[in-house]
Structure 1
Amino acid sequence: MTCPTLLRCRPAAADLLGDLSERVRRDDGIAQFTRFVLVGAATTAVYAALYVSLSGFGYLSAHLVSTVLTTMLANELHRRVSFRAEDRVDWFSAQWEAGGVALVGLVATSTALSWLDSAAGAAPLALQIALVASVTATIGVLRFVALRWLFRAQEPARA
């Protein structure tokens, strides 16, 4: 059914947003993964802003500083928002565990780009970006799995 005016459609859109908002607030795996992806997208945007603002120091310095800062931010947001584990996992543990997985991702993307360069020479920028995006997405899923099940915080003991 279509609405004859946009004014009549607004409650339906608001209901849909309310339903989505309620769904994302749950504690099941789908909601956690959704929050994980949203945190990843937000921190990627922060990375881009930092990288651009620091690019005057050279691309490598800008990349390293931006990566370290946004990885720390993402780890903290995953601890508090994605997994709601701030009562079960301390800051240092979250940084150590998730940072180690992020380091694997950094090595994987660098290795993939190096392989592409040796195999294809001067590959088009679009291909390089697609390769990094696919490796990053794969590592992101592995990171989610590691944080959700491997490094799972212990539930507090109930009396």
Structure 2
Amino acid sequence: MACPVSQSAVELNPAVLPLDWLLGIWESDEPGEGSFPSISPFRYIETLHFSHVGQPVINFMFNAFHAESRKPLHRECGFIRIQPGTNNVAFIIAQNSGLVEIEEGELIGQQLTLHSRALARTSFAKEPYVQQISRLIQLRPDGRLEQTVSMALENQPLTQHLHVTYRRAS
């Protein structure tokens, strides 16, 4: 899965200037924690790439690996948009699991709070199906980026699934 992530020499589009704090490469500074009632807890490492090519979007790619075995796990790529004249933000995401989603929410300062608005999946996706996702991404005062992801399945209410912090690698 390759989404356009190469940093461009073009200027950042003014429409996404409020998201400039995300740009660059981020690596988990310690393994993140993953859990959910239907799976065994796990630890993972992750690299985030946020870039632009001058369009009014931020491109992103997230790559997660098992902390001990380094086996590839979850991958996401997509785009971040801001509704002009507002602090409304949308993530358009494709996942390697066959899930495609649109998350919408707000940008307040250097914090993004998002909730799934639309989910679609391949016809042969693994059950039980994801029904809802929420995500909180924030730049902490210590300069680290923090992400918490919660999800709900058909048989499980919205529950925290992932939590990780990152340090800027570039």
**TM bracket, shorter-chain basis:** under 0.3
Between structures 1 and 2, the one with greater helix share? 1
Instruction: Name the TM-score, length of structure 2 as normaliser.
Output: 0.24
Between structures 1 and 2, the one with greater strand share? 2
Instruction: Name the TM-score, length of structure 1 as normaliser.
Output: 0.25
Please tell me whether Structure 1 or Structure 2 has the larger radius of gyration of its CA atoms: 1
